[in-house]
């Protein structure tokens, strides 16, 4: 996804469809996928590909590390 994560605002964000399409375009090169989303009613959605728990845990740890850095950047 271009080296970074995209922040999605569900109010009226065309980026949602674009972000999903970018992932679909890369599908043949992806080994593991975890989708974490909120629907417009605030319900949480979690979907994963059929891969090992280790790979899923790695992706979630990567996401948490990225978020921690993102919030720390805002504090500087």
3-state DSSP assignment of residue 26: coil
Q: What is the pTM of this model?
A: 0.62
* Cα distance between residue 12 and residue 67, in whole Å: 23
Closest alpha carbon to 50 in 31, 36, 22: 31
- Cβ(5)–Cβ(66) under 8 Å? yes
In a structure prediction context, what are the per-residue pLDDT tens digits for the chain, which is 76 residues long? Answer: 455 666 655 565 678 888 889 989 999 999 988 888 888 888 899 988 898 989 989 988 998 898 887 676 555 5
- Cα separation, 1 vs 20, in Å, equals 10
> Each residue of 6-18: b (16+ CB within 10 Å) or e?
eeeeeeeeeeeee
């Amino acid at each position: 996804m271009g080296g970074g994560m995209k922040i999605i605002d569900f109010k009226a964000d065309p980026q949602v469809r674009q972000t999903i399409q970018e992932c679909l375009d890369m599908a043949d090169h992806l080994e593991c996928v975890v989708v974490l989303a909120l629907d417009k009613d605030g319900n949480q959605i979690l979907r994963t590909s059929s891969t090992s728990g280790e790979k899923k845990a790695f992706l979630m740890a990567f996401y948490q590390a990225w978020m921690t850095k993102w919030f720390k950047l805002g504090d500087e």
